[in-house]
Amino acid sequence: MDCLFCAIIAGEIPSRQVYADDAAVAFLDISPWHAGHTLVVPRRHVADALSQPEALSEIAPAINATARLLTERLEAAGMNILINSGAVSGQEVFHLHAHLIPRYADHPGMAALMERDSDIDLDAVHQRIIAQA
């Protein structure tokens, strides 16, 4: 099977991982909408949330832990948690993933959600998240 996120989970394609547990892995989105935009994916291949809804409960602990980590380390004021399901919804990678998008007071609201910011230094953000306390 040719799946980008399975390849990332297997370490065949590099990623900036921020969290992992037995069921899920979390890594920075390569094209972030806001600093710290992270994808939480199940370790097992699940195409989307509608075909296997039980997978949502498998990744729920990782979504919770990653959301807390991002909020604390990046001092986010809030967070959008979004799962696109099916091509018509905008899903482009067909391995289930939850988008965790930290939000900051200077760019509030739904209208500003998808303002991709090409100035974000992914390595610098990654270090802020994974630095040992």
User: Annotated catalytic residue: which of 34, 37, 97, 126?
Assistant: 97
Q: Which residues bind ligand 5GP (CB under 6 A)?
A: 4, 15, 27-31, 84, 90-93
Cα–chain-centroid distance for residue 112?
Answer: 18
Please list, residue by residue across 82-118, b when 16 or more beta carbons sit within 10 angstroms of its beta carbon and e when fewer do. Answer: ebbeeeeeebeebbbbbbbbbbeeeeeeeeeeeeeee
How far apart (Å, rounded) are the C-alpha atoms in residues 22 and 59? 10
Cα four-point dihedral sign 66, 93, 12, 116: negative
Q: Give min distance, CB of 65 to ligand 5GP, in A.
A: 18
Nearer to ligand 5GP, 92 or 133 (CB): 92
Judged by beta carbon distances under 5 to 8 A according to partner kind, the member of Zn ion, ligand 5GP, none in contact with residue 19 is: none
Nearest distance from residue 12's CB to Zn ion, in Å?
A: 12
| 95 is known as an active-site residue | no
- Catalytic annotation, residues: 97
Give the footprint of Zn ion on this chain (CB under 5 A): 3, 5-6, 45, 95
